[in-house]
Amino acid sequence: MLAALIILPLLGAVVTWLIPSDRLRPIVLSVFAFGHLGITLRLLIATPPPSAGGWFNLDALGKIVLLSTSVLFFFCAIYSIGYLAYRLERSNRVLCMGLLICLSAASMVTITHHLGLLWVALETTTISMTPLIYFNRNARSIEATWKYLLICSVGVALALIGIYFLAYSTIVARVEPSLLLDDLIRDADKLSSGWVHAAFVFLLVGFGSKMGLAPLHTWKPDAYGESPGLVGAMLAGGLVNLAFLSLLRVYQLCLATREILFFQNALVVMGLISMLFAAIFMARQADFKRMLAYSSVEHVGIMAVALGLGGKAIFGALFHILANGLTKGVLFLSSGNIHRSYNSKSTDHVRGVLRRLPWSGGIFLAGFIAITGSPPFAPFISEFTVVSSAFIQGRAVVGALFLVSLGIIFIGMALTVLPMVMGEAPADSETTSYRDTIWTVAPPLALLVLVFVLGVWIPDPLMTLLRDASALLEVRQ
């Protein structure tokens, strides 16, 4: 069953490669996405035992990320049917293939407990996304692709060093050398602390740059800004979570090695820096896709702070994986519609969206409200959990900084989004034939509904899942 999770998308990749028709391909994509979603749900209900040797083990943390990725991917696939039908001027073979390969690699990241394999899978996602960013085939997108590829590769390379250091620490400690998470955790207190420390730093920087923590985020606005809406959605809602999952693995290890305090503080500091960075860059942002990219920086910051705070905030971090992923899907898909319809990303030209694209505009507005942490949407739950636990733990300064940057971000986003969706379209704005259709509106709408439901009611199974997951990250004496 676990194997199917990996193989099915690969199969799909092959099929999409063989299919000649650009019209047919997205439908096949959606079919495989649906299959993947089905398998995912099946696995969540009936979880298989860890594979022999413990290489593959779908634990609670993996489940959460797998679920959010699979759901998001499914809706992106549906969206691609309508979207790519409009973009028939160029072949979407590579796009569909890349998406499916990325999905397979992502599934691998979620189910493996072997750090080396984790790294391989993660690097695969990075590479498989590269051609997708270049989908628009213009100077800006090639630049974005180049920066994305090089910075992420270097970052992940650093992560590889970190993993090597861990491995070497086992050798130095003369325990049975292994990169299996469970073995490492078992022998944690024997490992030589010097190497482990260094490893943590390298892993933090490596996965952090993949995740987009400031100041390692520099590739993000370019990549998100220049790639098509659904690729942006996968990057911001999917890949970010994978990197975060890798960070969670490291966190588990830290917990075992009692080195946690440094790691937590580092996370809090980097998270706050990321939020402040995002706040600064979002104010007066004239390109709404770049704005979304910075919002993604903000939200990885939130997750990092939550993880660093520990305690109850862990729940917030884990729930934010879902909340942020789905909401980012809403925003990027609807912004893709807006971008296509105005053929511009500049807020000078994009005005009065509610008039031209009532549905996309409304969804985008709602997504803005959701992502800035207003009820009744899911991000509120996680963000408030973080704030309150910060104050309850007596770390008022962290809480205050957190709130301040949230406030600035809200103001910045409001000043960008509200003039965009409201008012009248300016006379000089380009008019295209692109309008809301059921295929391009339904997916973001469905995601929005999900975000809303999770904002008012967390189903019991999900709640237990989150509880188990946060149990894995509790400090144990």
127 contacts other proteins (rule: CB under 8 A) = yes
CB of 338 to other proteins, least distance (A): 17
Element (H, E) at 290: helix 288-309
Binds other proteins (CB under 8 A): choice among 11, 15, 185, 458: 458
136 contacts other proteins (rule: CB under 8 A) = no
Binds other proteins (CB under 8 A): choice among 106, 317, 406, 450: 406
1 or 461: whose CB is closer to other proteins? 461
| Spatial contact of 200 and 250, defined as CB atoms under 8 Å apart | yes
78 or 210: whose CB is closer to other proteins? 210
* Segment 346 to 365, residues that bind other proteins, using CB under 8 A: 354
19 or 422: whose CB is closer to other proteins? 422
Whether cis (ω within 30° of 0) applies to the bond prior to 444 is no
* Segment 176 to 205, residues that bind other proteins, using CB under 8 A: 177-179, 192, 194-195, 197-198, 200-202, 204-205
| Spatial contact of 153 and 159, defined as CB atoms under 8 Å apart | no
For residues 319 and 135, give the distance between their C-alpha atoms in angstroms, rounded to a whole number. 32
For residues 344 and 354, give the distance between their C-alpha atoms in angstroms, rounded to a whole number. 16
306 contacts other proteins (rule: CB under 8 A) = no
23 or 467: whose CB is closer to other proteins? 467
Binds other proteins (CB under 8 A): choice among 144, 240, 326, 363: 144
Residue 49, token pair as written in the block:
């035992």
Element (H, E) at 458: none
For residues 123 and 102, give the distance between their C-alpha atoms in angstroms, rounded to a whole number. 10
Binds other proteins (CB under 8 A): choice among 155, 229, 232, 310: 155
CB of 422 to other proteins, least distance (A): 4
- x/- map, 225-264, other proteins, by CB under 8 A: xx-----------------------------------x--
For residues 414 and 408, give the distance between their C-alpha atoms in angstroms, rounded to a whole number. 10
18 contacts other proteins (rule: CB under 8 A) = no
| Spatial contact of 409 and 372, defined as CB atoms under 8 Å apart | yes
388 contacts other proteins (rule: CB under 8 A) = yes
CB of 3 to other proteins, least distance (A): 15
82 or 373: whose CB is closer to other proteins? 373
Q: Find the length of the chain.
A: 477
CB of 41 to other proteins, least distance (A): 19
| First-to-last C-alpha distance (Å) of the chain | 36
CA 78 to chain centre: 19
411 contacts other proteins (rule: CB under 8 A) = yes
CB of 271 to other proteins, least distance (A): 14
CB of 85 to other proteins, least distance (A): 26
* Segment 282 to 301, residues that bind other proteins, using CB under 8 A: 283-284
- x/- map, 69-108, other proteins, by CB under 8 A: ----------------------------------------
84, HSE (Cβ side, Cα atoms, 13 Å):
27
Binds other proteins (CB under 8 A): choice among 51, 116, 395, 435: 116
422 contacts other proteins (rule: CB under 8 A) = yes
327-365 core/surface letters (b: 16 or more CB in 10 A; e: else): bbbbbbbbbbbbbbbbebbebeebbbbbebbebbbbbbb
CA 259 to chain centre: 27
426 contacts other proteins (rule: CB under 8 A) = no
Binds other proteins (CB under 8 A): choice among 35, 48, 54, 375: 375
Closest CA to 128 of 231, 198, 43: 231
Tell me the number of residues near other proteins by CB under 8 A. 103
For residues 135 and 329, give the distance between their C-alpha atoms in angstroms, rounded to a whole number. 19
| Spatial contact of 125 and 109, defined as CB atoms under 8 Å apart | yes
Residue ranges of E strands in 312-470: none
Binds other proteins (CB under 8 A): choice among 27, 85, 120, 442: 120
457 contacts other proteins (rule: CB under 8 A) = yes
CB of 273 to other proteins, least distance (A): 10
30 or 128: whose CB is closer to other proteins? 128
For residues 153 and 130, give the distance between their C-alpha atoms in angstroms, rounded to a whole number. 11
Residue 287, token pair as written in the block:
């390109």
CB of 27 to other proteins, least distance (A): 28
Closest CA to 247 of 298, 212, 293: 212
User: Nearest-5° angle of CA 193, CA 195, CA 261?
Assistant: 50
132 contacts other proteins (rule: CB under 8 A) = no
393 or 437: whose CB is closer to other proteins? 393
CB of 135 to other proteins, least distance (A): 13
| Spatial contact of 326 and 237, defined as CB atoms under 8 Å apart | yes
392 or 449: whose CB is closer to other proteins? 392
